[in-house]
Amino acid sequence: MKLHELTIHEALRLLNKKEISAAELTNAVLDRISQVEPLVDAYITVTADTARKAAEAADQAIRRGEAGALAGIPLGIKDLICTRGIPTTCASRMLEDFRPPYDATVMEKLNAAGAVMVGKLNMDEFAMGSSTENSGFKPTRNPWDPSRVPGGSSGGSAASVAADMCLGALGSDTGGSIRQPASHCGVVGIKPTYGRVSRYGLVAFASSLDQIGPMTKDVTDAAILLNAISGYDPRDSTSVDQPVPDYTKALTRDIRGIKIGIAKEYQETAGICESVCRAVEQAMAVFRSAGAEFVDISLPHTDYAVAAYYLIAPAEASSNLARYDGVKYGFRATSEPGRNRNLFDMYKSTRSSGFGAEVKRRILLGTYALSAGYYDAYYKKASQVRTLIKHDFKTAFDTCDIILAPVAPTPAFAFGENTDDPLQMYLSDIFTLSANLAGIPGLSVPCGFSDEGLPIGLQLMGSYFEEASLLNAAYCFEQQTDYSNQKANPAKH
C-alpha cells in the first residue's frame, strides 16, 4: 500500500468501496511507523493493539453500513490531549505515568466517527516551544532533513503526517504551534477560531490562547477533520455555541472577487529570509490569477505582539502548572538524605526535577509578571495591548476578507541553532501569535521550497468563525500548485 499517495479522503473512498480494509490500512501505517520512527522520533506512545481493535470495529461498521465519517482512518494525537487509559504525558517527566480516566471531547468525537488512533505524538514539553527540542523524552526530527527541527510545539504531529506515519493528526496551537510545524514539514495545519473546538480534556498551557486543530496532507483532509472535531461543548466554558458548516462543501475553488489584505507591518519585519519572501510573492501571483484582489492594510500594534504574548502565555502557564506539585498526581521526587524534610522541600525538588528548562523559564516569567507590584506593569499592560491587537484585526477585516502573511521568517532551522538564544526562538512565532491573541482562525498551506529544498508555508488568517473561507482559499491555491504532499522528503523512501 503506497501510503505516500494516500490522503484521508482517498482512503475513505477505498474503504467505503471495500477495496481495502481498515485492518489492512492500520497495519500498513503501523508497519510504516516501525520503519520510519527510528529516523523521525515522532511518537511517544504507539498504541498498536488498541488501533487494531478499533480497525476491526471499523470494518464491522462498514460491513453493516453504519460507518462513521472517519471509519478506519489511522490518526495520531498530540500527547496533551487526554485519552482514557492511555498515557498522556505532555512530553514531560512530570506526567510520564499519567493515564487519564476520561477522553477529551475531541477524542470522543473521533471515536464516535470511527477513527483509529495509532499513537500519541511528541511535542515540546507542555507545548512550550517552537522546535520540539524541549520534549522531556527526545527531540523529533524533520522528515525532510533529519538535521533540522520539525517546528513546535506540535512537531510530532507535523512530522508524523509528513512521513506517512498516520493519515492525519491533531495538534494544538497557543502561539503558532500548529501552523509553524505545518510550514516546516510541508503539511496543512489550521488553528480554528478560539471556541470553535472544545478544549475539554486538553491539558492547559495558556487557557485563553490554546486551541486544538487538524494537521493533514492536503486541504480537503483538513476540512474533513475539522468537521469531525468542531462544535459546542457545555463542558468547556470557552466553547461557543455557533453553527458548524460542512467545511468540505466550502471547497469550491472560486475566490473571484475575494479581498486579501497585505499588512505593511509584516512586509517590514526584519529577519525574513529571501526564500520565504520569494515563496509568498509567488503565492500572491497565484491568488491574483485566480481572481483575488489585494488591498493594503495596517496592523499597527504588531510590534508589541511578541512582548504581550510572552507575558500573557507564561502568566497563564504559571497558574495552570501550579497543580503539578507532587501531591495530587504525576511525578514526585524521591526522598534523599537531607532533602524533602518538609512539604516545601518536596514541592521544590519535585518541580525542579520534573519540569524541563524551558517550562521552568516560562513559569518564572509568568510568576514574576503576576507578582505583587508587577501585575499592573506587566500582565495588565499586556492584556491592554491584546485588546488593541484584536481591534487591529477587526478594523482590517472591515476592508478585506483574508489576511495573507508568512508563517515563519525562515524554513526549518538546524538543531541547536536557537537553543542558546531564547529570544531568537520566541521571534520565530512573530507571524503566528497575533492570531492567538485575537482569537481568530489561521491556516498554513505549503507554498514553496527554500534553496535547500525545505518546505515553506503560507499563512492565511480570517475573521471569527470564517474557517470555511480560509479553507476554500487554501484549496484554490493548492489545486493550482503542486506543493502539498510532495514526494521529495527522505522519510518517504
Q: pLDDT for 295-328, tens place per residue?
A: 999 999 999 999 999 999 999 999 999 999 998 8
**Rounded mean pLDDT of 154-167?**
98
Residue 340 binned pLDDT confidence (cut-offs 50, 70, 90) = low
User: Of the residues 153, 183, 198, 318, which is catalytic?
Assistant: 153
**Rounded mean pLDDT of 114-131?**
98
Least confident stretch, 25-29, 109-113, 325-329, 376-380: 325-329
pLDDT, position 486:
57
Across the chain, what does the average pLDDT equal? 95
pLDDT at 488 over 50: no
d(CA 382, CA 396): 21
Active site residue 21: no
Q: Tell me the pTM.
A: 0.96
Active site residue 172: no
**Rounded mean pLDDT of 111-124?**
98
**Rounded mean pLDDT of 162-191?**
98
pLDDT at 337 over 60: no
d(CA 291, CA 256): 4
d(CA 153, CA 382): 23
pLDDT at 470 over 50: yes
pLDDT, position 338:
58
Number of H helices, E strands in the chain: 16, 11
d(CA 318, CA 33): 36
User: Of the residues 157, 172, 177, 230, which is catalytic?
Assistant: 177
pLDDT at 336 over 70: no
**Rounded mean pLDDT of 51-59?**
98
Active site residue 135: no
Residue 255 in contact with residue 290, Cβ under 8 Å? yes
d(CA 315, CA 216): 32
Classify residue 350 as exposed, middle or buried by CB count within 10 Å of its CB (0-12, 13-18, 19+). buried
Least confident stretch, 292-301, 313-322, 328-337, 437-446: 328-337
pLDDT tens string 375-384: 999 999 999 9
Cell numbers of 452, please?
A: 535547500
**Rounded mean pLDDT of 62-74?**
97
pLDDT, position 493:
42
pLDDT, position 277:
97
pLDDT tens string 369-427: 999 999 999 999 999 999 999 999 999 999 999 999 999 999 999 999 988 887 788 88
pLDDT, position 485:
56
**Domains observed in the chain:** 3-258+400-492 (3.90.1300.10)
One-character DSSP codes across 384-408: HHHHHHHHHHHHHTTT-SEEEEES-
Percentage of residues of the chain with pLDDT beyond 90: 89
